[in-house]
């Protein structure tokens, strides 16, 4: 894949120290998607700055670093380390369990989301994107909490919580029992949530969840400013380039000169 042709590359989650992740098995296919319980395995911020940023800097693309942590202090430590690094945006993964508050994810409680956003903003030199979890009752409440606390943009959706059972072994397929579900099956949920959030707050939205084709990406005209492709890369590494080309073809066919005409064009 020619990374120069992509608007941005989003890294996997980076923490203040290396995380080993969850025990295996931790990935399984499911109908029209996959479940993963990787547990945010990552090499830690030191190795990331030494190895991964220089690699990405070779290309003409924006670098978006996804930041994860187990406490407010963890997040802030990573954000502070990245302040003087040549990265463009920080995407804060608030689907991590907050160890100090009994394990509920930062992104499932509006007050916790507001607190982490405010704290991170104190240390960040780059714009902040809060990545919203769909595992909530009202996504607009979470969006408003993040924006009120200073989030510059939002990305949604993160994975839906799911489970798969091996009926022959009569046991869980994933060692972690539950995992995050991604892939085509979640796209209608993602499109609906992007639409709701776009009509509730006034910041740019990066839409994601089940995008496999340009047509899928274009559905996010429901309110997204940009789109992000994840799971589809597992089965077709060229997905991102096909989406870029497909959007261009669509615009030519419909005689659209400015892609901004598509953002939030359904009311």
pLDDT value of position 103: 75
Separation between Cα atoms, residue 71 and residue 42, nearest integer Å: 17
Q: How confident is the model at residue 16 (pLDDT cuts 50, 70, 90)?
A: very high
3-state helix, strand, coil in the chain (%, to 5): 40, 20, 40
* Residue 249's pLDDT band (cuts 50, 70, 90): very high
For residue 185, what are its two tokens? 């099956």
| Spatial separation of the C-alpha atoms in residues 174 and 148, rounded to whole Å | 37
The distance from CA 81 to its chain's CA centroid, rounded to whole angstroms, is 21
Q: What is the pLDDT of residue 97?
A: 76
User: What SS3 string covers 179-204?
Assistant: EEEECHHHHHHHHHHHHHHHCCCCCC
Mutual orientation of helices 72-82 and 110-123 as an angle, nearest 10°? 30
Average pLDDT over residues 191-207: 98
Q: Would you state the structure tokens that stand for residue 40, as one six-digit string?
A: 């945010």
pLDDT at 99: 76
Contact 108, 137 (CB under 8 A): no
For the segment 43-99, what is each residue's pLDDT rounded down to a tens digit? 999 999 999 999 999 999 999 999 999 999 999 999 999 999 999 999 999 988 777
Model confidence pLDDT, tens digit, residues 154-196: 999 999 999 999 999 999 999 999 999 999 999 999 999 999 9
| pLDDT at site 151 | 98
DSSP code at position 260: G
Instruction: Return the C-alpha torsion angle 228, 151, 179, 186, nearest 10.
Output: -50
Nearest to 60 by CA among 4, 1, 2: 4
Whether the Cβ atoms of residue 216 and residue 187 lie closer than 8 Å to each other: yes
In the DSSP assignment, the letter for residue 205 is E
User: Nearest CA to 264 among 229, 210, 228, 219?
Assistant: 219
> Over 90: is that where the pLDDT of 28 sits?
yes
Instruction: Read off the pLDDT of residues 102-133 as tens digits, 9 standing for 90 and up.
Output: 778 899 999 999 999 999 999 999 999 999 99
Average pLDDT over residues 16-40: 95
The answer, yes or no, to whether the previous bond of 116 is cis (omega within 30 of 0) is no
139-148 vs 187-198: helix crossing angle, rounded to 10: 50
- Mean predicted confidence (pLDDT) in 242-255: 97
Which of the residues 49, 68, 96, 265 is marked catalytic? 96
Written as six digits, the tokens of 190 are: 């993602």
Q: What's the pLDDT score for residue 104?
A: 81
Q: Which residues contact 123 (CB under 8 A, 6 or more apart)?
A: 76, 79, 80, 83
Q: Which of 243, 246, 253 has the alpha carbon at shortest distance from 207?
A: 243
Q: Is residue 68 among the annotated active site residues?
A: no
């Amino acid at each position: 894949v020619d990374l120069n042709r992509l608007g941005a590359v989003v890294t996997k989650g980076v923490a203040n120290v290396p995380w080993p992740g969850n025990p295996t098995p931790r990935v399984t296919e499911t109908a029209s998607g996959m479940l993963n319980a990787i547990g945010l395995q990552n090499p830690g911020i030191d190795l990331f700055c030494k190895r991964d940023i220089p690699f990405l800097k070779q290309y003409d693309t924006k670098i978006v670093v996804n930041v994860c942590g187990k406490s407010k202090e963890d997040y802030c430590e990573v954000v502070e380390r990245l302040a003087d690094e040549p990265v463009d945006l920080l995407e804060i993964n608030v689907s991590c369990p907050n160890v100090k508050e009994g394990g509920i994810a930062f992104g499932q409680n509006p007050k916790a989301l507001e607190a982490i956003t405010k704290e991170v903003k104190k240390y960040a030199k780059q714009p902040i994107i809060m990545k919203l979890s769909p595992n909530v009752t009202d996504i607009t409440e979470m969006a408003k909490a993040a924006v009120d606390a200073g989030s510059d943009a939002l990305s949604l959706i993160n994975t839906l919580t799911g489970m798969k059972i091996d009926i022959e072994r009569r046991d869980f397929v994933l060692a972690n029992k539950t995992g995050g579900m991604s892939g085509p099956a979640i796209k209608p949920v993602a499109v609906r949530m992007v639409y709701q959030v776009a009509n509730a707050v006034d910041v740019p939205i990066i839409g994601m969840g089940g995008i496999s084709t340009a047509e899928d990406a274009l559905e996010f005209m429901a309110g997204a400013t940009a789109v992000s492709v994840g799971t589809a890369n597992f089965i077709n590494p060229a997905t991102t380039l096909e989406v870029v080309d497909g959007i261009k073809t669509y615009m030519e066919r419909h005689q659209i000169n400015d892609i901004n005409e598509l953002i939030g064009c359904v009311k």
